[in-house]
Amino acid sequence: MADSQTLAAKLKERFSDTLTSCVVDKAEVTIEVLATDITDVCMVLRNDPEFRFEVLMDLCGVDYSAYGFTEWETDIATDTGFTRGVIKESENTFQNNKNPDKPRFAVVYHLLSITNNQRLRVRAYPQSSDFPIIDSVHSIWNGVDWFEREAFDLYGIVFEGHPDLRRILSDYGFIGHPFRKDYPLTGHVEMRYDAEKRRVIYQPVSIEPRVLVPRVIRKDHRYESGQAGEEPTDA
């Protein structure tokens, strides 16, 4: 914890005019910076001998539009009635439900300093929720190449200056971004092989939305013994 507090103090002193937040929780340091400052801050974090974060371990996107909401709470869903699974508790408002004053999407960078044996989490919020865009850090850590492509593919976050920004996981003809919470979990289309046409075809998805099926853990003696559909036997 002492090392984390020391790192946090150094960050606040070095980036006094840049940081919008610096939090130490469970010996982990997380800082927030403006999207417009991300490359300048990351360059200092890599090159300054006081920090020396030589390695970018991971980069990921975050969608906060439905943060903290769920259709089913497994322990208390039956108390709220079956309609909880039919009528969603919250519709997508395309804003940050964690903090309405901040944009919907965030980019999170996980850094490692081998020299100082320290870790750091950096978070930045692209300003536009309709077209989130942020500068690429590929020129600082070129190993971020596939990480930024993944965040672009799954969240639609555009990394300006990336040398080859294209999809990495989705199908070639895929429309949309799978990890945006406005995209149905079942998808829009499915593919199958058509024997008559002798090729793979796409058709509207036929999977039943699983959100209508309650998944509740019942802490009841009737479900603790015996098999489904059978009455428990007395010892």
**Chain segment 152-203, per-residue pLDDT in tens:** 999 999 999 999 999 999 887 778 898 987 777 777 888 899 999 999 998 9
- How many Å apart are CA 58 and CA 74, to the nearest integer? 31
The distance in angstroms from the start CA to the end CA of the chain is 53
In this structure, which amino acid lies at residue 156?
G
- The mean per-residue pLDDT over the stretch 23-27 comes to 91
Q: Are 151 and 59 in contact (CB under 8 A)?
A: yes
pTM of the model: 0.76
Q: Is residue 111 part of a domain?
A: yes
Which of the 8 DSSP states describes residue 209?
P
Q: Is residue 29 part of a domain?
A: yes
Q: Is residue 50 part of a domain?
A: yes
- pLDDT over threshold 80, residue 77: no
Number of domains, the chain: 1
Q: Is residue 37 part of a domain?
A: yes
Q: How far is CA 79 from CA 76, 188, 210, 213, in A?
A: 5, 32, 20, 16
Q: Is residue 203 part of a domain?
A: no
Highest mean predicted confidence (pLDDT) among 80-89, 206-215, 223-232? 206-215
- The mean per-residue pLDDT over the stretch 81-87 comes to 48
- How many Å apart are CA 227 and CA 56, to the nearest integer? 50
36-59 pLDDT tens trace: 999 999 999 999 999 999 999 999
CATH number for 11: 3.30.460.80
- Among 72, 17, 19, residue whose Cα is nearest residue 8: 19
Q: Is residue 163 part of a domain?
A: yes
- The mean per-residue pLDDT over the stretch 69-84 comes to 54
DSSP β-bridge partners for residue 194: 199
- How many Å apart are CA 153 and CA 183, to the nearest integer? 13
Q: What is the mean pLDDT of the chain?
A: 83
Q: Characterize the bridge pairing of strands 28-34 and 55-63.
A: unpaired
pLDDT of residue 88: 52
- The mean per-residue pLDDT over the stretch 9-34 comes to 94
- How many Å apart are CA 49 and CA 149, to the nearest integer? 30
- pLDDT over threshold 90, residue 209: no
Q: Is residue 177 part of a domain?
A: yes
Sorting pLDDT into bands at 50, 70 and 90, what band is 95? confident
Domain membership of residue 110 as a residue range: 2-64+102-183
Sorting pLDDT into bands at 50, 70 and 90, what band is 132? very high
Q: Is residue 71 part of a domain?
A: no
Residue 83: how many other CB atoms lie within 10 Å: 7
